[in-house]
Every structure is written in C-alpha cells, then in structure tokens.
C-alpha cells in the first residue's frame, strides 16, 4: 500500500529518517518500534504527506505522494496522531464529524456511527458532547481512535494509539482492534513502545534506530535471532517487571 524508496528527512541538523526503504504489505499490520527519537512518528507523517521527503519518494499504491494527491489519500486513510490532535474548540462529536461531514454524510448517520464507536472503545456516549479539555488523557486518546475509524477506512496509521490507557481497557481494546483488523483485512501501520503489543497486532515488526530500520521480522524472529547487540538489548529492556520479579525469586 505504502512504499518508501530511499526516503530521508532532516530537521535542521537532526536526521529524523535516513535513506529508509520499505514496502508496507496490504491487508496486514506492521508495527514500528524503537527508542524515543528514532523517527517513528516522522515516518508516519511522511506517509500522510504531513511532512515532505528531502530525498527519495513515498508511493501510495501506484501514485507518488505529492501536494496534489495528498487530499485523496487522507480521505482513504484513518490517522491517529501521537497526542490525539483533536481540535480544542470542537466537541468530541464535531471532531469525529469532520471527515464524514466533508464526505456528505447525514447528521443522523454521523451520530449513530460515533455512538457505536464510543461503545466499542468504552467511552460514555454522553462524552460526545464534551470538549477535548473536559476529558482525561486516556479518554481523549479513545476519541482519536473514534475519529480515525468513523469512515471505516481500509488503511489506518496509528501513532501510539493506546499509550495513555489503563492496562485493563488497553488489553480489551487491543484484542477488539486486532480482531477487527484481521477480520476486515485492514492495512495498518502502528507505532508502539510495547514490543508485546507489537507482537499481538503485527505480522511484521520494524525495529528502528537513528532513522533507519535495524531489523524486520516477526516478534519470534526478533527474539530468537536478533541481528545485533542493540536488538538484543532493546528486547531485554522490554521484559515485563513481573517477569523480572519471577526470575529473581526463582
Ligand atoms: N518538527 C520538528 N522539528 C525539529 N526536529 C524534529 C521535529 N520533529 C521531530 N524532530 C526530531 O526528529 C527526530 C525523530 O523524531 P520522531 O518524532 O520521529 O521520533 P519518534 O521515534 O516518534 O520518538 P517518540 O518515541 O519519542 O515519539 C527526533 O530527534 C526529533 O527531535
Ligand atoms: Mg513519536
């Protein structure tokens, strides 16, 4: 669906993405994982045309991403940005209604869809009338998901969509979303800090460092055959506190 060919992006002296090439497989979930600042969010923004490449190119299907084609792509791609990206002067429902409204949906249809998704993400439907600042961080994050799912897009780009949720809601939403993406054959690019979450969602994981891909593969590949000490250290650092506690007690 998305193809990156030798893509680089710099911000002043900082190289955020460095000559990166990858084709994201249609109909499956790919997880981007790696240390803070390694370029994960920048990579998603490049795919959406929110920032532009310095070198190389991004393709969506057969078309090269360019200012002229960006709008058509954004209508087909749901996007959850890292900090929610909600408009503060619009209510939850108005935020969710932006794209469907532009596509000509009737108000009743928009409301019914938003209410259905609110139930899916376990957000009280009365919260649809609130402004983003009247919600908790975890609630805002679920509104970001509602907004991205409104038009049921085939492609979803999600930047740490579950990062602010408490463990129980997070676990429930993870399994609901995984089931939804699998059964509907969605193409998903998911940024996460949690390698367990990456393994749960993604058929392919891209482990990034300093703007490049260090290793691609399934969770099993990364755990069993890390290509270098960085991959090994990254995976070991993600062992759960409970697991480490168990090890110490044995
Ligand atoms: N608008 C910007 N202006 C200047 N530098 C930027 C900008 N956006 C990102 N950067 C820099 O580019 C690098 C990559 O940033 P990016 O946001 O892609 O990282 P990330 O992998 O998403 O990190 P995190 O896990 O913390 O979200 C970082 O060094 C960051 O400071
Ligand atoms: Mg980021």
How does pLDDT run across 97-119, given as a tens digit for each residue? 999 999 999 999 999 999 999 99
Distance from C-alpha of 136 to C-alpha of 145, rounded to nearest angstrom: 14
Other beta carbons less than 10 A from residue 127's beta carbon: 17
Distance from C-alpha of 184 to C-alpha of 170, rounded to nearest angstrom: 21
Residue owning the nearest CA to atom 25 of ligand 1:
36
pLDDT band for 157, please (50, 70, 90 cuts). Answer: very high
From the alpha carbon of 34, which atom of ligand 1 is closest? 21
**191 three-class SS:** strand
Distance from C-alpha of 91 to C-alpha of 82, rounded to nearest angstrom: 19
The CATH number of 2-249 is: 3.40.50.300
Strands (DSSP E) found in 98-154:
none
Average pLDDT over residues 57-75: 86
Distance from C-alpha of 107 to C-alpha of 114, rounded to nearest angstrom: 11
pTM for this predicted structure: 0.92
pLDDT value at 149 more than 80: yes
Pick from 100, 204, 109, 191: which is nearest to 153 by CA? 100
Contacts of 76 (CB under 8 A, 6+ apart): 153, 154, 155
Predicted pLDDT of residue 17: 97
What's the 105 CA to ligand 2 centre distance in angstroms?
32
Task: Please calculate the CA angle 137-138-141 and round it to the nearest 5 degrees.
Answer: 90
C-beta separation of 16 from 10 below 8 A: yes
Mean pLDDT computed over every residue of the chain: 92
Crossing angle for the helix pair 40-48 and 67-76, to the nearest 10 degrees: 100
pLDDT tens for residues 189-234? 999 999 999 999 999 999 999 999 999 999 999 999 999 999 999 9
**Nearest 10 degrees: CA dihedral of 59, 61, 64, 69?**
-120
Residue to mutate, 15, 37, 197, 237, ligand 1, most ligand atoms under 8 Å from C-beta: 37
Pick from 48, 42, 89: which is nearest to 71 by CA? 48
From the alpha carbon of 32, which atom of ligand 1 is closest? 21
């Amino acid at each position: 669906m998305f193809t990156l060919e030798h893509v680089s992006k710099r911000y002043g002296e900082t190289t955020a993405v460095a000559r990166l090439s990858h084709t994201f497989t249609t109909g499956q979930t790919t997880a981007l994982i790696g240390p803070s600042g390694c370029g994960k969010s920048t990579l998603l923004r490049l795919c959406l045309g929110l920032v532009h490449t310095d070198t190389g190119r991004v393709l969506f299907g057969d078309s090269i991403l360019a200012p002229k084609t960006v709008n058509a792509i954004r209508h087909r791609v749901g996007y959850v940005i890292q900090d929610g990206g909600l408009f503060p002067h619009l209510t939850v429902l108005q935020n969710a209604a932006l794209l469907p409204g532009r596509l000509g949906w009737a108000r009743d249809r928009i409301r019914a869809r938003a209410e259905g998704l609110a139930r899916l993400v376990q957000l009280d439907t009365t919260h649809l009338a609130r402004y983003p600042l009247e919600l908790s961080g975890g609630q805002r994050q679920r509104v970001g998901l509602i907004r991205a799912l409104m038009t049921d897009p085939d492609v979803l780009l999600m930047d740490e969509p579950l990062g602010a949720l408490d463990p129980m809601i997070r676990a429930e939403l993870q399994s609901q979303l995984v089931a939804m993406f699998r059964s509907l054959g969605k193409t998903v690019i998911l940024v996460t800090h949690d390698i367990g979450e990456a393994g749960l969602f993604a058929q392919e994981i891209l482990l990034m460092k300093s703007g490049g891909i260090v290793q691609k593969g399934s969770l099993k590949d990364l755990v069993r055959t890390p290509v270098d000490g960085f991959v090994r250290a990254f995976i070991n650092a993600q062992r759960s506190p409970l697991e480490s506690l168990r090890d110490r007690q044995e």
